[in-house]
């Protein structure tokens, strides 16, 4: 396993990040534990979750599943870089969500309890809070870092200017600021190439793409349809909207002799700003199947062909749309 640095930090993470959002709603706790054990066996050390995952309001079901797995011992916690998130509504009261210093503090304490650990390796803001000043946010985060409850701070779903502003305020406070951004990014969703990725490159943030397969659209969906595996109504609509591109993509993957899902992940890994795409396996087979992507080396010609099938915004702003 060739590990990558998380942005400008010295922290080494596996090139694929185990997403746990399915644990609870779609994957049972024993199966979730088996998937995490297998992930370690395969060399994956980077796991992502959130306090709102689990689809039971305010309970943090997925964090609890991970916490009970950590409690089994055997070096499970020590071998894991655990990332969780704060922002979503966790209580029916005015300060039960978003990024006030009060909520950040209480949400962190609750996540630590559910995860059965004394620290969170990467604490990510799940969304930008436009109504809370960055001085307040960094006051809360810096205090958690001083107390040893959080090691690194990251963002998710931030615009480029949010990242720049956040780290400008952090620099003025002599704190490290954001070390990574978790964004929607895949072959068919390349908007972040305009400003988010340039901001990450300039400020030394690692990019953690979520939904790297476009919700299944890039996972060989046409082949699965032909085999009689029906897609949900929303996916059917996405297929019809993107059918020419998906047909060309799956045909090209067949020429390469690779699974479409593996090519989609490999394409992301060719971008030096990407630290680790998040994979969200529901089963052990889905986990082990994803590992092929780490070994695929796409040629310059293959990367050019993928750009032709899925054109990006034209590069970074402003050159993408201006002289």
Q: In what order do the strands lie in the sheet with 46-48?
A: 206-210, 178-184, 150-156, 120-125, 81-86, 46-48, 17-19, 278-279
End-to-end CA distance of the chain: 42
Active site residues: 53
Q: Are 133 and 101 in contact (CB under 8 A)?
A: no
3-state secondary structure of 94: coil
Q: How far is residue 302 CA from its own chain's centroid?
A: 25
- A 10 A CB-CB count for 15 gives 22
- Between CA 52 and CA 102, with CA 113 as vertex, the angle to 5 degrees is 65
* Eight-class DSSP state of 67: H
283 and 23 Cβ atoms separated by less than 8 Å: no
Q: Taking the alpha carbons of 73, 76, 79, 83 in that order, is the dihedral positive or negative?
A: negative
**15-18-23 Cα angle (round to 5):** 175
Pairing of strands 46-48, 81-86: parallel
Specify whether the CB–CB gap between 63 and 49 falls below 8 A.
yes
Dihedral, CA of residue 243, residue 304, residue 272 and residue 211, to nearest 10? 0
Distance of alpha carbon 140 from alpha carbon 95, whole angstroms: 14
Number of neighbouring beta carbons within 10 Å of residue 296:
17
CA angle (275, 152, 291) in 5-degree steps: 30
């Amino acid at each position: 396993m060739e590990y990558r640095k998380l942005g400008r930090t010295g922290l080494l993470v596996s090139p694929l990040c185990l997403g746990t959002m399915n644990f609870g709603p779609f994957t049972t706790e024993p199966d979730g534990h088996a998937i995490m054990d297998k992930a370690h066996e395969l060399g994956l050390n980077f796991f992502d979750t959130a306090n709102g995952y689990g689809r039971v309001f305010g309970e943090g079901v997925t964090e609890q599943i991970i916490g009970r797995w950590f409690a089994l011992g055997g070096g499970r916690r020590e071998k894991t870089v655990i990332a969780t998130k704060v922002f979503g509504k966790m209580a029916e009261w005015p300060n039960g969500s978003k990024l006030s210093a009060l909520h950040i503090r209480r949400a962190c304490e609750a996540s630590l309890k559910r995860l059965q650990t004394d620290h969170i390796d990467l604490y990510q803001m799940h969304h930008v809070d436009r109504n809370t000043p960055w001085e307040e946010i960094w006051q809360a985060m810096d205090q958690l870092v001083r107390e040893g409850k959080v090691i690194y701070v990251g963002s998710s779903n931030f615009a480029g200017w949010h990242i720049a502003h956040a780290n400008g305020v952090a620099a003025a406070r002599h704190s490290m600021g954001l070390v990574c951004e978790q964004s929607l990014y895949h072959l068919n969703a390349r908007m972040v190439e305009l400003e988010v990725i340039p901001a990450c490159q300039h400020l030394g943030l690692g990019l953690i793409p979520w939904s790297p397969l476009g919700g299944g659209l890039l996972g060989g969906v046409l082949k699965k349809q032909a085999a009689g595996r029906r897609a949900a109504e929303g996916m059917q609509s996405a297929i019809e909207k993107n059918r020419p591109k998906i047909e060309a993509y799956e045909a090209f993957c067949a020429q390469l002799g690779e699974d479409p899902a593996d090519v989609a992940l490999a394409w992301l890994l060719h971008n030096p700003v990407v630290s680790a795409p998040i994979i969200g396996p529901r089963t052990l087979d889905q986990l082990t199947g994803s590992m092929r992507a780490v070994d695929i080396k796409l040629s310059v010609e293959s990367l050019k062909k993928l750009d032709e099938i899925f054109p990006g915004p034209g590069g970074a702003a402003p050159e993408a749309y201006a002289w």
